[in-house]
Amino acid sequence: MASPLSKPLSPFSSHKETEREREEREKRERERELSARAMAAAAADFLPPLVMLVVQFLYAGLNITSKLAMEFGMNPLVLVAYRQMFATIAIAPCAYWFERKGRPKITKPILFQILLCSLTGATGNQVFYYVGLKYSTPTIACALTNVLPAATFVLAVLFRQESVRIKTSPGAAKVIGTVVCVGGAMLLSFYRGQTIELGESGIHWKYAGLMRGGSSSNQGSSIWGSLCLIISSVAWAAWFVIQARVNEKFPAPYTSTALMTFMATIQCGAIAVGIEHKTLAAWSLKSSIRLVGALYAGVACSGMAFCLTSWSIQKKGPLYASVFSPFLLVIVAIFSWAFFQEKLYVGTVVGSLLIVVGLYAVLWGKTKEVKLQQHIEMTAAAEAKLDDYNNKEDLEEQSYVVSNGNILHK
């Protein structure tokens, strides 16, 4: 029996309690939603740089594994042929899976342009790169790869895909950056200087003796290797110029890359057979180092790294992806010192720094130029919209005057 002193329950008390709980629940849901959005935004900002760092580590492994495979007697031309074959096998499923529905029609002009891409970006670039890597060191190979933006700028100007505009700050930055890049490449190629003592890494690997005893110790061979690496960058720059036109008419990057690597497999295979046709031992992959070098180059670098770089370009743009290329030089320099006891020279360090400075000058100029062009286009679009609005108002005013005149006339 209820106490007579107890307060009677309000008929709205349970309803008010339920309303309060609902408000608290909605508040908690809003907080969770805001937290999820913040985490998604943080992941969106965190993933692209992480992906590009992974790509640089993949390419660093390429230089190490490929150098080891060649030190085990594998001909660089044979290694390039295997890389193209494994790359085709790795990329072809991506081309089928991602582009099977929206793939444009493959015409003869498109095939001819892809053929030119295979001759420059795959065969020419990689043949000279692997020969240069054989007669130099992984650190020098990575440093000279950073000449690519400068070489691309020069070829793009020659083919009228880029404008110089030397009187503007972006144009001056691109020109000066190109000159600095080329100067750094020349210094790195023809000057060594004194050895920089870094001490012993403490890591002793049985393959280190092979790397130290390679042909890169010969100064003449090192110069020849550097020249081949520069030619490789020029060929790669030519691929950028041709590929830009392919992308306009055939926007299917996985398919075009699969076709390019397939054509390059035939080209590099023919070149390698012409050089190494006397014995089948040159093509043997029984050695684990040879097999790992060929598989890694084709699957990890031409397959996985291409997909990751394409994703990063889609999210942040090509300039963002290219900014991370100097990290490759740092990673390879550390790996070469730690695992192979590679010596660093004054010329190598100074030349590498000049190349990186020139690289960022070219990228800065290109970024400013793109932003300036976007500002001009936005201003022109706003002015055109304002002109259309003013013309519309003039027409409406004229129509109003004419209609009033007709009424007064009547």
Extents of the domains making up the chain: 52-366
Residue with tokens 């397939």, as numbered in its chain: 262
Question: Which is nearest to 185 in space by CA: 240, 154, 158, 148?
Answer: 148
383: its two tokens: 């002015």
What does each C-alpha distance from 86 to 23, 80, 229, 251 come to in angstroms? Answer: 59, 10, 23, 23
Digit-coded pLDDT (tens) for 345-375? 888 888 888 888 887 888 788 778 777 777 7
pLDDT band at 41 (very low <50, low <70, confident <90, very high): low
Evaluate if pTM is beyond 0.85: no
Long-range contacts at 367-374 (CB < 8 A, ≥ 24 apart): 367/319, 368/169, 368/170, 368/173, 369/165, 369/168, 369/170, 369/171, 369/174, 370/319, 372/170
Q: Say yes or no to pLDDT of 192 above 80.
A: no
364: its two tokens: 């800065």
CA distance 232 to 121: 9
Find residue 344's DSSP bridge partners: 196
Residue 59: Cβ within 10 Å count: 20
CA distance 80 to 272: 8
What is the DSSP annotation of 338-356?
HHH---EEHHHHHHHHHHH
What's the pLDDT at 216?
Answer: 44
